[in-house]
């Protein structure tokens, strides 16, 4: 019997890296994950729609979890500008939190193989191995190297230097509000429901997610809101992505770091265009955060013994609610391909890539169609005077 080496090096310890890590371990691979951040990632995330592939991946990797794995909304509401209900639709859907997914995966992955404070600086491929070289001068070598290092992926930059995310023309303002922080009437309207308000060239949505320490207890959960607003890349975006200490960020501003005048402008704009329940939600949000909406699609996901997964390869716009489940699908199908090809890495990666490229392209196209329709129906600008459009 031939002995096959099965050691994987994963760059990036967020959800994409952890899904790949637990799935590869489930088929008998030794796995080490290398994460740039020196501290835990598990306290910053917002809400995530619980797509079925997330639980499928947990089941496949025998990751234990409790049901319900989130908070269920029973209907969708669309609000008018005055806060009245324009449309109501029965639709059951569970929403969870980034933190709950992250902590569930992390608790299933051996701590001694999850290395923090390890920033990839360079890569090398030899005939049968791939080596990661870290900024601290150390190295790690495996039979398979996975780039799960997100939008700014160094793995991708080394292999496909001409493919980088592009700004889609709008950002997401986001926030979390404790159930008890909102007045009773507004809280009642927003609880158990996925609530939307569509306005010209913008929309906002909210749903309830687990609270602090992932509590599902009514009263201790959180309202999660996301508001898509158009900003010009050259003249407006740089200011939004400069934090309160004056530091410029590439794609996002974390909770607590938003500049005071940006926060105030957002609140003022909310008062002029959003329905009263959404205005209230934004007004009581202590630490709003910002994520730029990005587009990225690569033409190639495998490079001999290296594979790109998750946001390192494709960034579909968030309207597809697929950022996290895409990483789960990438990992499940990769494990399948390895088993099918007797753990022959190069054969398995070649077989895996075709469908994953198609899947990524499909999500990218779908997200662009949804986003362009909601944000650019009246041109690319942020609408300031609705009466012109409605008249």
Ligand X SMILES: Cc1cc2nc3c(=O)[nH]c(=O)nc-3n(C[C@H](O)[C@H](O)[C@H](O)COP(=O)(O)OP(=O)(O)OC[C@H]3O[C@@H](n4cnc5c(N)ncnc54)[C@H](O)[C@@H]3O)c2cc1C
Q: What is the binding site for ligand X (CB under 6 A)?
A: 11-17, 34-37, 41, 44-46, 48, 98, 118-120, 148-151, 154, 310-312, 318, 323-324, 327
Least spacing, CB of residue 107 vs ligand X, in Å? 17
Least spacing, CB of residue 255 vs ligand X, in Å? 10
* DSSP code, position 296: E
Closer by beta carbon to ligand X, 288 or else 310: 310
Closer by beta carbon to ligand X, 140 or else 182: 140
Peptide bond into 68 cis (omega under 30): yes
Listed as own residue / partner, the contacts of 179-183 with beta carbons closer than 8 Å and 24 or more positions apart are 179/208, 179/211, 179/218, 179/219, 179/220, 179/221, 179/222, 179/223, 180/219, 181/284, 182/223, 182/280, 182/281, 182/284, 183/280
Closer by beta carbon to ligand X, 226 or else 273: 226
Least spacing, CB of residue 390 vs ligand X, in Å? 32
CA distance readout (Å), 176 to 124, 285, 378: 42, 6, 30
Output the residue with the shortest Cβ distance to ligand X: 310
Contact yes or no for 243/258 (Cβ under 8 A): yes
Q: Rounded distance, CA 204 to CA 269, Å?
A: 13
Closer by beta carbon to ligand X, 35 or else 143: 35
Closer by beta carbon to ligand X, 58 or else 275: 58
Least spacing, CB of residue 379 vs ligand X, in Å? 27
CA nearest 326: which of 62, 87, 51, 69?
Answer: 51
Neighbouring residues of 25: CB distance < 8 A, sequence distance ≥ 6: 31, 61, 109
Q: What are phi and psi of 19, to 5 degrees?
A: -60, -45
Least spacing, CB of residue 132 vs ligand X, in Å? 8
Least spacing, CB of residue 386 vs ligand X, in Å? 29
Other C-beta atoms lying within 10 Å of the C-beta of residue 14: 24
Closer by beta carbon to ligand X, 151 or else 259: 151
Q: Rounded distance, CA 238 to CA 215, Å?
A: 36
Structure tokens at 192: 């158990």
Least spacing, CB of residue 316 vs ligand X, in Å? 9
Closer by beta carbon to ligand X, 140 or else 275: 140
């Amino acid at each position: 019997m031939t002995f096959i080496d099965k050691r994987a090096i994963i760059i990036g310890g967020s959800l994409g890296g952890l899904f790949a890590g637990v799935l590869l371990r489930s088929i008998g691979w030794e796995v080490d994950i290398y994460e740039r951040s020196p501290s835990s990632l598990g306290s910053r995330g917002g809400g995530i729609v619980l797509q079925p592939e997330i639980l499928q991946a947990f089941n496949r990797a025998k990751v234990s979890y409790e049901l319900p794995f989130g908070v269920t909304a029973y209907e969708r509401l669309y609000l008018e500008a005055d806060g009245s209900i324009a449309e109501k639709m029965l639709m059951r859907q569970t929403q969870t939190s980034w933190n709950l997914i992250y902590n569930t995966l992390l608790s299933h992955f051996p701590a001694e193989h999850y290395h923090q404070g390890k920033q990839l600086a360079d890569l090398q491929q030899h005939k049968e191995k791939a080596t990661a070289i870290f900024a601290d001068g150390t190295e790690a070598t495996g039979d398979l190297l996975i780039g799960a290092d997100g939008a700014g992926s160094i793995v991708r930059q080394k292999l496909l230097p001409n493919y980088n995310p592009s700004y889609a023309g709008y950002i997401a303002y986001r926030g979390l509000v404790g159930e008890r922080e909102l007045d009773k009437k507004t809280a009642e309207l927003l609880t158990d429901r996925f609530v939307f308000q569509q306005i010209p060239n913008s929309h906002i949505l909210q749903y309830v997610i687990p609270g602090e320490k992932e509590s599902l207890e009514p009263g201790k959960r959180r309202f999660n809101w996301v508001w898509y607003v158009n900003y010009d890349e050259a003249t407006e975006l740089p200011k939004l992505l400069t934090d309160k200490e004056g530091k410029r960020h590439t794609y996002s501003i974390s909770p607590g770091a938003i500049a005071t005048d940006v926060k105030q402008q957002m609140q003022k704009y909310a008062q002029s265009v959003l329905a009263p329940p959404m205005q209230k939600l934004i007004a009581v949000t202590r630490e709003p955060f910002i994520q730029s909406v990005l587009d990225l699609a690569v033409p190639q996901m495998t490079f001999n013994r290296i594979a790109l997964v998750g946001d390192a390869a494709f960034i579909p716009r968030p309207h597809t609610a697929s950022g996290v489940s895409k990483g789960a699908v990438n990992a499940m199908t990769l494990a399948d391909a390895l088993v099918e090809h007797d753990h022959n890495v190069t054969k398995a990666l070649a077989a895996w890539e075709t469908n994953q490229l198609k899947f990524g392209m499909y999500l990218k196209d779908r997200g662009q169609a949804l986003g362009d329709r909601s944000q650019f129906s009246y041109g690319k600008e942020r609408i300031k005077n609705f009466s012109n459009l409605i008249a």
